[in-house]
C-alpha cells in the first residue's frame, strides 16, 4: 500500500516537473527572441556610474575588478567603497586605477555601517556622489566582458525602463563542489528567472548586476528602506516595479564566481540563499519542490520495484534524467551561455537531486551566516543580528 502511495507521488511530481520544464522552454524561446532583437538594436551609450561595494580579499578579485576597468564604453566612472581605507580590496582597486589611467575611478570609505546590510550602506554613500543618472550596481565577485556596459544599457533607450538586471552563470574556482554549485547558478537560477519573466514580467532584480535610474532611487529616498533586509535585490526590483517603471531582464549574461571548495561550505552557502528566498518569497519557494525532477524519478524507481511496477519505475527515472538534461542545455547553455551546462549536462541531474535536500534545509532554521556574522531572518526577509551585543562591541572597538 505504501509503495503504491509513493509511486503515485512520484508520478505526480513527474507531471509537475515536466510542466515546469515546458514553461522553462517557453521562457527560453522568448528570451532568445528578445536577445536577437537587442543585439541588433542601435547603440545607446549615455554616461553611467558603476558602483562597486568591496570588502576584503576574495578569490580572483583582481581579475574580477579589472574586467570593469576594461570596458569598451565611451563615458563611465567607477566608484569603489569599503568600510576602511586600508581594506585590501580597495587597495587592489587603487592599483588597477594606476594601471588604467584613462578610466575615471574614485574611492570612498563608509566607516563601520550602522545598517545590518553593510552593502546597502556603501551604496547609500556612493549613489549620492555619483556623477551620472544611470547607476550600475555590481558585486565584487562578478566578472564581465568588455561589451558589458554597451549591452546592458541598451534597454534604457526606452524612457519607461527604470531598472535592468542580468542573468548570471556560475564561474567555478575549481573543484567538484564549485562545479556543482556553479551549475545551480547557470541552470536553476536562470530557469526560475525566465519562467517568472514569462508568467508575470520582472518584478524583482538579481544582485550581481542591477542598473537603475537615479530618479527611481530618489523616489524611494535612497536605499535606507532596505537597511535590514537580506534579499535587497528582490526588494529593490519589486519597489521600482511598484512605481510604474519597467524592470527589464537584460539579454546579456555575466559571470559570478563560485569558490566554496568543500562540500559543507558549498551546502551552507546554497542553503543560505534558499533560506533568504524562503523569507522574501515564501509561497513561491514552497512551490519550488514541485519543480525538481530527479527526486521524484528516484522515488518512482524504488517505489516501482517495491510495488512490482519495475518498468514504470525505470521509465520515471529515465524521464527525470532526460528532463534535467534538456533543462541544463536550454537554461544553462542557451540563455546563460555556460558551456559546461552543455558539455557536462549529466551533472545537472545530480545537483537537481541534491536540490530537494537544500530545499528542506531552508526550513530547518531561520539563521544565516553572512560575511562571518550570524543573522536571524524574519518575515519579508528582514535580518536581525543573532548576537547584537558582540556586534556593538566590535563597532565600538573599530571606531575608537
pLDDT at 320: 98
pLDDT at 352: 97
Q: Determine contact, residues 376/384, Cβ cutoff 8 Å.
A: yes
Residues 6+ apart with CB under 8 A from 279: 230, 231, 366, 377, 378, 379, 380, 381, 382
For the record, the C-alpha cell of 348 comes out as 545537472
Residues 6+ apart with CB under 8 A from 33: none
CATH class of 37-261: alpha beta
User: From residue 327, how far is each of 24, 75, 110, 194, 390 by CA, in Å?
Assistant: 7, 39, 43, 12, 45
Residues 6+ apart with CB under 8 A from 213: 133, 134, 135, 156, 162, 163, 245
pLDDT at 34: 95
pLDDT at 295: 97
Helix (H) or strand (E) holding 51, with range, is strand 48-53
Angstrom distance (rounded) from CA 219 to CA 223 = 10
Angstrom distance (rounded) from CA 243 to CA 135 = 18
Which DSSP symbol is given to 229? Answer: B
pLDDT at 93: 97
Q: Determine contact, residues 167/250, Cβ cutoff 8 Å.
A: yes
pLDDT at 369: 81
For the record, the C-alpha cell of 166 comes out as 542580468
Q: Determine contact, residues 16/288, Cβ cutoff 8 Å.
A: no
What does each of the 400 residues of the chain score in pLDDT, given as a tens digit?
Answer: 898 999 999 999 999 999 999 999 999 999 999 999 999 999 999 999 999 999 999 889 999 999 999 999 999 999 999 999 999 999 999 999 999 999 999 999 999 999 988 899 999 999 999 999 999 999 999 999 999 999 999 999 999 999 999 999 999 988 889 999 999 999 999 999 999 999 999 999 999 999 999 999 999 999 999 999 888 999 999 999 999 999 999 999 999 999 877 888 888 889 988 998 999 889 889 999 999 999 999 999 999 999 999 999 999 999 999 999 999 999 999 999 999 999 999 999 999 999 999 999 999 999 988 766 788 998 888 888 776 545 444 443 343 3
pLDDT at 388: 56
User: Which stretches of 226-362 are assigned E, i.e. beta strand?
Assistant: 246-258
pLDDT at 374: 86
CA angle 283, 289, 370 (to 5 degrees): 70
For the record, the C-alpha cell of 11 comes out as 508520478
Instruction: Give the residue carrying C-alpha cell 520582472.
Output: 202
HSE, CB side, 13 Å, CA atoms: give it for residue 210.
27
Residues present in the chain in total: 400
Domain boundaries, the chain: 2-26+284-361, 37-261, 367-400
pLDDT at 289: 95
Amino acid at each position: 500500500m505504501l509503495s503504491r502511495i509513493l509511486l503515485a507521488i512520484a508520478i505526480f511530481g513527474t507531471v509537475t516537473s515536466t510542466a515546469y520544464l515546458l514553461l522553462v522552454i517557453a521562457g527560453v524561446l522568448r528570451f532568445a527572441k528578445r536577445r536577437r532583437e537587442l543585439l541588433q538594436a542601435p547603440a545607446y551609450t549615455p554616461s553611467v556610474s558603476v558602483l562597486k561595494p568591496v570588502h576584503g580579499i576574495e578569490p580572483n578579485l583582481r581579475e574580477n575588478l579589472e574586467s570593469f576597468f576594461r570596458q569598451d564604453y565611451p563615458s563611465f566612472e567607477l566608484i569603489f567603497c569599503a568600510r576602511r581605507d586600508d581594506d585590501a580590496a580597495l587597495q587592489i582597486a587603487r592599483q588597477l586605477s594606476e594601471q588604467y589611467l584613462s578610466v575615471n575611478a574614485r574611492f570612498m570609505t563608509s566607516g563601520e555601517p550602522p545598517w545590518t546590510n553593510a552593502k546597502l550602506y556603501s551604496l547609500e554613500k556612493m549613489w549620492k556622489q555619483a556623477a551620472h543618472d544611470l547607476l550600475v550596481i555590481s558585486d565584487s565577485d562578478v566578472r564581465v566582458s568588455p561589451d558589458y556596459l554597451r549591452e546592458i544599457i541598451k534597454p534604457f533607450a526606452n524612457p519607461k525602463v527604470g531598472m535592468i538586471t542580468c542573468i548570471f552563470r556560475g564561474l567555478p574556482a575549481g573543484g567538484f563542489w564549485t562545479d556543482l554549485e556553479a551549475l545551480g547558478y547557470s541552470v536553476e537560477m536562470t530557469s526560475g528567472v525566465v519562467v517568472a519573466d514569462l508568467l508575470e514580467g520582472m518584478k524583482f532584480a538579481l544582485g550581481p548586476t542591477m542598473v537603475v535610474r537615479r530618479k527611481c532611487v530618489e523616489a524611494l529616498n535612497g536605499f535606507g528602506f532596505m537597511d535590514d533586509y537580506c534579499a535587497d535585490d528582490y526588494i529593490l526590483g519589486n519597489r521600482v516595479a511598484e512605481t510604474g517603471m519597467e524592470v527589464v531582464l537584460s539579454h546579456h549574461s555575466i559571470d559570478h564566481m563560485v569558490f566554496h571548495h568543500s562540500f559543507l561550505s558549498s551546502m551552507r552557502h546554497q542553503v543560505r540563499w534558499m533560506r533568504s528566498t524562503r523569507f522574501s518569497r515564501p509561497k513561491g519557494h514552497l512551490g519550488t519542490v514541485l519543480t525538481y525532477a530527479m527526486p521524484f524519478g528516484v522515488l518512482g524507481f524504488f517505489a516501482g520495484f517495491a510495488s512490482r511496477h519495475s518498468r514504470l519505475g525505470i521509465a520515471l527515472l529515465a524521464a527525470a534524467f532526460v528532463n534535467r538534461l534538456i533543462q541544463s542545455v536550454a537554461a544553462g547553455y542557451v540563455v546563460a551561455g555556460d558551456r559546461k551546462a552543455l558539455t557536462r549536462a549529466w551533472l545537472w541531474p545530480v545537483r537537481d537531486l541534491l536540490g530537494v535536500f537544500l530545499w528542506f534545509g531552508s526550513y530547518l532554521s531561520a539563521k544565516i551566516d553572512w560575511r562571518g556574522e550570524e543573522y536571524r531572518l524574519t518575515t519579508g526577509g528582514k535580518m536581525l543580528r543573532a548576537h547584537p551585543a558582540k556586534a556593538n562591541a566590535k563597532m565600538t572597538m573599530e571606531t575608537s
